[in-house]
Amino acid sequence: MTAISPFTPLLEADIDAATRMFIGGEWVTAQGGETFDVHDPADGRVIAHVPAAQPADVDAAVAAARAALAPAGPWRTMTPQVRGRLLWKLADLVERDVERLSAIDSVDSGKPMDEMRYFDIPFSVDVLRYYAGWTTKITGDTIPISYPAGHGGTFHAYTLKEPVGVVAAIVPWNLPLLMAIKKLAPALATGCTIVVKPAEQTPLSIAALTQLTIEAGFPPGVINYVTGLGEVAGAALSRHRGVDKVTFTGSVPTGKDIVRAAADNLKRVSLELGGKSPNIVFDDADLDAVVAGAAAAAFATQGESCIAGSRLYVQRGVFDEVVRRLGEHAASIRLGRGTAEGTQMGPLISAEHRDRVLDYIKIGIDEGAELVTGGKAPTGQGYDGGYFVEPTVLINAAPEARIMHEEIFGPVVSAVAFDTEEEVLALANNTRFGLGAAVWTKDISRAHRMAAAIESGQVWVNCYQAADSALPFGGTKESGWGRETCRETLEEYLETKTVVVAL
């Protein structure tokens, strides 16, 4: 047993499962025997030593995925209906193990258990069932053709939809299980095979998910699980000539590195990257809903969310009241270990990231922002050794301040007053990102004007981060390429083949 921190025996068994990788239907260690440490963000202790995959391990995983795509193999010849049943069975197993998976992801990422129970796991189940339903509905077209006319021939033309091939899914550490499933489900629904690489900070729940795919009955090689450092295993997957598509969620710099690596064989790439989402409040809005929504937008998942509402623009007439109430709400949030009942916000992912977030708070204040609440790492019993940062509200940052443009990825929200619709639109769109935005108003005409004018992949009106498997999720500008959790995502995992038959 390699688990070190004191968890329940069941959870220790799940932690121990992450000390091996899954390649070609077998649990294996890294070929060179290298490992890296995984830490408990609530106290900083090492909880597991996990295989550090080298390029040879990546080669083995890609080879297994390619073998599973053999023309006469069980995956390629499996009917769409059976693929759908396997996905539905996996959804049932994830739903069955909600407490177990919630605990694993909570230990690994620091997220509160309730976020896992009531959002991440139910949404993961819904994503699996959504794509399970699509397997039998992926069809080509019969196309009447006009050319060549007058040559005495009659032609029958049609298209086929075929899997793009081997998919490399590189998963972030903030929502590890959900992000893995958002990539796994469309890949499997379309008949692709996959190599999943979790973030090195959070491999535990993906190991547990892999166990469930075995229980569900997926053939060997269809799903492969490889752990390792991004600059080694992730880079090897991105440039591998046996990989046909990379799907990545994470930072903009890493996304750009993946694009450069993928250029070698022009593999497909989809990217869900960063955000600096504007959350816009007009003075006619329901302020009870605004405060609750702004707090959730800024502090859910410890603010470690690409879609976090980190820029809060409030019309001047209600600015002071919103800031006061949001500050009080932030100060009341209960911090603690994610697995502890009653915890509302857990630790950040690492000591390095905690220090980065604290540095951003200092930068913001040094550049003229005022601190309303929070701003530091809590100390004392329950916090020692952990990577905690208090929920933080800043106000009055200058439009060009770094905290208004750079992704902090922590529990920090910067509130700024505005006067007119035109003014706030200019502020909202003054960013290199375009992932999410929200507008709070009772004026339906204004809501539609704003939704049309904001440069963003999604805009919420009088809510924040409402999600559904049928809704496209993704961004514009440097927030990424492509969409997830929707019908059009399927096309990113499919090739179209044209067939013309002379009759």
DSSP secondary-structure letter at 227? -
| Residue keyed to tokens 């196309």 | 143
Count of other CB atoms within 10 angstroms of residue 398: 13
From 192, 306, 390, 484, active-site residue: 306
CA triplet 132, 133, 135: central angle to 5 degrees?
70
Q: What distance lies between CA 153 and its chain's CA centroid?
A: 52
DSSP secondary-structure letter at 251? -
The answer to whether residues 316 and 417 touch, using CB atoms and an 8 Å cutoff, is: yes
Query: Is 272 one of the catalytic residues?
Result: yes
Query: Is 306 one of the catalytic residues?
Result: yes
Tell me the residue type at 397: A
- Spatial distance between the Cα atoms of 180 and 431, rounded to a whole number of angstroms: 28
- Spatial distance between the Cα atoms of 487 and 130, rounded to a whole number of angstroms: 9
- Spatial distance between the Cα atoms of 158 and 76, rounded to a whole number of angstroms: 21
| Residue keyed to tokens 């750079």 | 406
The answer to whether residues 497 and 193 touch, using CB atoms and an 8 Å cutoff, is: no
Strands (E), 100-198: 155-163, 166-170, 193-197
CA dihedral sign of residues 202, 203, 204, 207: positive
| Helix-, strand-, coil-residue percentages of the chain, each rounded to 5 | 40, 20, 40
* Measured CA distances, 12 to 9, 16, 78, 101, 439 (Å): 5, 6, 36, 13, 44
From 12, 115, 272, 390, active-site residue: 272
Task: Give the end-to-end CA distance of the chain in Å, rounded to a whole number.
Answer: 66
3-state secondary structure of 337: coil
CA triplet 322, 324, 326: central angle to 5 degrees?
65
| Residue keyed to tokens 């006009």 | 146
Which residues are the active-site residues?
A: 272, 306
